[in-house]
């Protein structure tokens, strides 16, 4: 089927279907899009799909949602990109909102507590699997291994902020290639894409910026003007706006930064709640970065005292979640609509490719730190000020559930949804049998 033959109504139905099936994190979501759009519908060729994916991997933010936006834009322009991107997020957004309400109302019930206990064990296995998968692809040289190791030490030992690590890795990769000391990346020649984006121009860029920047920042500025700079809403808007600019490497990489700030700096959530949020995001459709919606909900809900009997508390939580999702995803549309022509013109740039490959290597170290952080807080009851667990405080039930999840995923090769479901049931059974 030619692109011109794809009706907007049919495309809309297809994007909704993809949104409802988008389980399993970026890898699973990209696989679903490929199967439906390339193999089943044949709306886009393999070559064009991979070209779009490569571009989205260079951007901050959720690459799978950006890929949907990009392909929707190819098919039907701006309205196609908006429709594809929004429908990719909408099912997960509604699911996380409903589960957030249920969480604050009933999470202390033994059955619900057990379900989350099992999910936490599965999350550790999932993050380890992501670490191995990304590491195998990214760490193809000794230099890349060094970058990953240094990134891990910088986060786990030196406690340096995530954006500084990303910038440092990118600068190292750029300088290394720019001065002829080698490159972290090997550029591969590709043929021209099927549909080229508009020619870059200052006028086009200014028009897009004049539209999307106010859309992005208006809610944040309104909160600051009405509620003050110190309000939880203003802090959520500012922090997650900043996150959307530095979130290279996908959700797993940026979650270390989000967890560090949301737990340790702002105290919006506890380590256990952060893990619960990740479990919710893993078990629902949509981008994994929707875990920030759960953080925004709890931050705003608890700012009013966290009283679940007050409808005002639930409304406050919903508004916090909506604001967080808004400032997280609006920039993704801006990056696609604004940046595609410029990124197309930079294809073949060796220093740029080396910088991006170095960032990818650093992401492996970031994910290793994330895996360590999650495992420490799930498996041990006490952690010292340096983040080291007290070995005597090992918790038997989480350790057993984590071991089962590791066996299911790494030995029996079970899929994500099946592992999560079984882990949740086992966790509930463990709690109810106490």
Instruction: List the one residue out of 288, 292, 287 whose CA is nearest residue 274.
Output: 292
In the chain, what is the straight-line distance between the N-terminal and C-terminal CA atoms, in Å? 59
Q: For residues 30 and 133, give the distance between their C-alpha atoms in angstroms, rounded to a whole number.
A: 15
Give yes or no for a contact between 235 and 265, defined as CB atoms under 8 angstroms apart.
Answer: no
Q: Which residues pair with 380 in a beta bridge?
A: 394
Phi and psi at residue 380, to the nearest 5°: -125, 140
Please tell me the pTM assigned to this model. Answer: 0.71
How do the pLDDT tens digits run along the chain, 434 residues long?
444 478 899 999 999 999 987 765 676 678 778 878 988 888 887 767 766 776 787 788 888 899 999 999 888 888 999 999 999 999 999 989 998 988 888 766 677 677 778 887 887 887 788 778 778 777 878 888 999 999 999 988 887 877 788 788 889 988 988 887 877 765 554 443 444 556 677 888 899 999 999 999 999 999 999 999 889 999 999 999 988 887 765 566 677 778 878 888 888 988 888 878 877 787 777 888 898 999 999 999 988 765 555 678 888 999 999 999 999 999 999 999 988 777 656 656 778 778 877 887 887 887 788 778 778 878 888 877 667 788 888 889 889 999 999 999 899 988 777 888 898 899 888 877 76
Q: Burial letters for 39-68: b for 16+ Cβ neighbours within 10 Å, e otherwise? A: eeeebbeeebbebbbebbbbbbbbbbbbbb
Q: For residues 357 and 96, give the distance between their C-alpha atoms in angstroms, rounded to a whole number.
A: 33
């Amino acid at each position: 089927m030619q692109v011109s033959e794809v009706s907007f109504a049919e495309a809309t139905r297809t994007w909704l279907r993809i949104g409802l099936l988008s389980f399993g994190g970026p890898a699973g979501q990209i696989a679903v899009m490929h199967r439906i759009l390339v193999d089943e519908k044949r709306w886009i060729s393999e070559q064009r799909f991979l070209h779009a994916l490569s571009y989205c991997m260079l951007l901050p933010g959720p690459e799978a949602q950006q890929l949907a936006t990009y392909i929707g834009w190819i098919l039907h322009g701006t309205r196609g990109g908006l429709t594809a991107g929004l429908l990719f997020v909408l099912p997960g957004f509604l699911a996380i909102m409903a589960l957030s309400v249920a969480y604050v109302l009933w999470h202390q019930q033994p059955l619900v507590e057990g379900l989350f206990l099992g999910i936490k064990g599965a999350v550790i296995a999932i993050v380890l699997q992501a670490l191995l998968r990304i590491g195998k692809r990214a760490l193809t040289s000794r230099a890349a291994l060094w970058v990953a190791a240094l990134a891990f030490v910088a986060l786990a030992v030196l406690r340096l902020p995530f954006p500084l690590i990303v910038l440092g890795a990118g600068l190292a990769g750029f300088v290394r290639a720019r001065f002829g000391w080698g490159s972290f990346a090997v550029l591969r020649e590709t043929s021209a894409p099927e549909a080229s984006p508009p020619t870059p121009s200052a006028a086009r860029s200014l028009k897009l910026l004049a539209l999307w920047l106010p859309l992005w920042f208006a809610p944040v500025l309104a909160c600051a003007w009405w509620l003050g700079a110190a309000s939880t809403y203003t802090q959520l808007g500012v922090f997650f706006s900043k996150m959307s600019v530095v979130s290279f490497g996908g959700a797993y990489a940026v979650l270390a930064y989000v967890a560090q700030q949301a737990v340790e700096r702002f105290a919006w959530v506890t380590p256990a709640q952060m893990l619960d949020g990740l479990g919710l995001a893993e078990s629902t459709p949509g981008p994994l970065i929707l875990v920030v919606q759960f953080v925004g909900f709890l931050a705003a809900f608890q700012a009013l005292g966290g009283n679940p009997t007050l409808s005002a508390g639930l409304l406050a939580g919903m508004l916090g979640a909506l604001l967080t999702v808004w400032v997280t995803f609006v920039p993704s549309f801006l990056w696609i609509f604004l940046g595609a022509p410029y990124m197309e013109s930079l294809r073949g740039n060796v220093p740029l490719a080396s910088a991006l490959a170095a960032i990818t290597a650093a992401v492996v170290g970031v994910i290793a730190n994330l895996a360590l952080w999650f495992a420490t807080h799930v498996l041990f009851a006490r952690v010292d000020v340096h983040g080291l667990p007290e070995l005597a405080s090992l918790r038997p039930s989480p350790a057993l559930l984590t071991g089962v999840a590791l066996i299911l995923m790494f030995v029996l090769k079970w899929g994500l949804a099946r592992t999560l479901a079984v882990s949740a049931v086992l966790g509930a059974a463990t709690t109810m049998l106490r």
